[in-house]
Amino acid sequence: MEKAAPSETQPLTPPKASNCKEGDDCSENGLLIKITEPKFQLVEGANQAHPSQGEKEETTSPVSNGISGAQSPSPCNATGGSKGAPPTPAAPMTTTTLCVAEGQQQLMELDERETWSKKVDFLLSVIGYAVDLGNVWRFPYICYQNGGGAFLIPYTIMAIFGGIPLFYMELALGQYHRNGCISIWRKICPIFKGIGYAICIIGFYIASYYNTIMAWALYYLISSFTSELPWTSCKNPWNTNNCTNYFSNKSTAWTANSTSPAEEFYTRHILQVHRSKGLDDLGGISWQLVLCLMLIFTIVYFSIWKGVKTSGKVVWVTATFPYVILFVLLIRGATLPGAWRGVVYYLKPEWDKLFATEVWIDAAAQIFFSLGPGFGVLLAFASYNKFHNNCYQDALVTSTVNCLTSFVSGFVIFTVLGYMAEMRNQEVADVARDTGKQPRMGKCGQSQFLIFPVLCSVCPISSAVCRMVGVVVF
């Protein structure tokens, strides 16, 4: 049957949108729309598709009821539109292009981050940071005070379940976010940025403390450029009547009031503790140490002022040379008379101390102090890694090297303590107690400044060895 033409009084009513096909003019709520099917093509370098740039989306803007048109959807959101207006098809081309552009911008920001020249530069930097004075002098003292060989059990447990996981977590955070400590914690949660500021403040305090010790080491290094090492003689202006040099005269009796030349050089010449009456008397300024401290800050600045490109080259010396000197000192210490007494005392286990809470606390404190998580340094080092670097393997390697270095350093220290006990005709425990707890020097003291000078003094080329040890500690 043939359809009748519409009369003049019959309104032109397009079919509803639900019955429309592609290409038809349809109506929805009194608005004229046209159904089209957008054509898509792949964008090079993106995993999404968008309409062809040569074809525009055909949408008829409604003109009735005073509505001007639908709002453009927001970037990466295809559900935008004006309130009260019918839903309009999203603009796939614009949306996808913006999403891809934002993703590429983030990737460009990551690529702009400077990276290590070689993987070895990063490993040596982390090892050089983790292996420090705490491995050389603090671990041996903590070990013999908490049960000798038995202390290795809580130390290993704390390393596996506490130190290494935190070490790995900090490397992973730095490598993933590729920012400094403040920016990383702000990205995790804005309120956590205070953690980043706290890390910076702690780092400032630690740097002040460690740079002071490095200034002492630098002064030892400068003092070694003499014909006679000043800590091997009792003829110096700072020496007292109690100074006893058992190196030059083996028949000299060691009494309760006796002090060694190395001890008086450290306490009376460098620290000058005899001039201070207590905490309320700070004493004067030692200009020698002030100059050494200024030189330390200058060297540190020029070592890192161009970023990882310069520091990555410096660590090839600062992280490897200490192991060479440590091996030389270990061989020399093992050949000294009485060295075996110190080794036995170092490794002799006291199993009853495993039931003491203080032993486990000291083990946890030592592993955290040694590995150094929480100071922001590992975050900074790892932020210069490539994004897909295997930081889990790096954490295992560097942590293992750190723990083994601490253990081997104990042999170096206690071979010298055994030698000193042999020369003084004392027990190793008495010598260790004297060198580990000096007056006004804290719980652990700075025994490396009392033991290493003695070890250097008995080496065949004592001046050269002392200079190398000074470089290592420095």
pLDDT, one tens digit per residue, over 323-343 is: 888 888 888 888 888 889 889
Least confident of 84-88, 210-214, 346-350: 84-88
Is pLDDT at 11 greater than 60 in this prediction?
A: no
Q: How confident is the model at residue 463 (pLDDT cuts 50, 70, 90)?
A: low
* Average pLDDT of the residues in 427-446: 59
pLDDT at res. 337: 87
96-to-38, 91, 315 alpha-carbon distances in Å: 13, 9, 46
Query: Could you give the percent of the chain with pLDDT greater than 90?
Result: 20
pLDDT at res. 75: 43
Q: Which residue has the higher pLDDT, 123 or 75?
A: 123
pLDDT at res. 27: 53
Q: Is 130 annotated as a binding residue?
A: yes
Q: Is 236 annotated as a binding residue?
A: no
* Average pLDDT of the residues in 86-114: 51
Q: Per the confidence metrics, is the pTM higher than 0.95?
A: no
Helices then strands (H, E): number in the chain?
A: 19, 4
CA-to-CA distance for 333 and 346, rounded, in angstroms? Answer: 14
Is 4 strand, coil or helix?
coil
pLDDT at res. 263: 86
Least confident of 16-25, 152-161, 316-325: 16-25
Is pLDDT at 316 greater than 80 in this prediction?
A: yes
Is pLDDT at 438 greater than 70 in this prediction?
A: no
* Average pLDDT of the residues in 139-147: 85
Closest CA relative to residue 263, chosen from 453, 461, 72? 453
* Average pLDDT of the residues in 200-204: 89
Is 187 strand, coil or helix?
helix
Residues 6+ apart with CB under 8 A from 455: 329, 332, 333, 412, 416, 469
pLDDT at res. 301: 85
pLDDT at res. 59: 40
Is pLDDT at 362 greater than 60 in this prediction?
A: yes
pLDDT tens readout for residues 271-301: 888 887 777 777 778 899 999 999 988 988 8
pLDDT at res. 69: 41
List the beta bridge partners of residue 243.
259
Q: Which residue has the higher pLDDT, 274 or 395?
A: 395
Least confident of 99-108, 213-222, 256-265: 99-108
Is pLDDT at 250 greater than 90 in this prediction?
A: no
Is pLDDT at 29 greater than 70 in this prediction?
A: no
DSSP states of 320-388: THHHHHHHHHHHHHHTSTTHHHHHHHHH---GGGGG-HHHHHHHHHHHHHHH-TTSSHHHHHHTTS-TT
Q: Which residue has the higher pLDDT, 6 or 412?
A: 412
* Average pLDDT of the residues in 438-464: 63
pLDDT at res. 276: 78
* Average pLDDT of the residues in 451-455: 76
pLDDT tens readout for residues 396-425: 999 999 999 999 988 988 888 888 888 878
pLDDT at res. 436: 53
Q: Is 65 annotated as a binding residue?
A: no
pLDDT at res. 170: 93
Is pLDDT at 101 greater than 60 in this prediction?
A: no
Q: Give the CA-trace dihedral at 381, 386, 388, 393, to 10 degrees.
A: -40
Is pLDDT at 1 greater than 60 in this prediction?
A: no
Q: Is 276 annotated as a binding residue?
A: no
Q: Is 363 annotated as a binding residue?
A: no
Residues 6+ apart with CB under 8 A from 33: 17, 25, 26, 27, 59, 60, 62, 86
CA-to-CA distance for 199 and 444, rounded, in angstroms? Answer: 25
Convert 423-432 to b/e letters by CB count within 10 Å (16 or more is b): bbeeebeebb
Contact 375, 206 (CB under 8 A): yes
pLDDT tens readout for residues 58-70: 444 443 343 334 3
pLDDT at res. 347: 86
CA-to-CA distance for 347 and 367, rounded, in angstroms? Answer: 19
Least confident of 75-89, 106-120, 309-323, 332-346: 75-89
Q: Is 241 annotated as a binding residue?
A: no
Going by their DSSP bridges, the two strands 40-42 and 31-34 should be labelled as unpaired
pLDDT at res. 281: 76
N-to-C CA span, the chain: 106
Query: Could you give the percent of the chain with pLDDT greater than 70?
Result: 69
The overall average pLDDT reported for the chain is 75
Q: Which two tokens stand for residue 320?
A: 């490897």
pLDDT at res. 74: 43
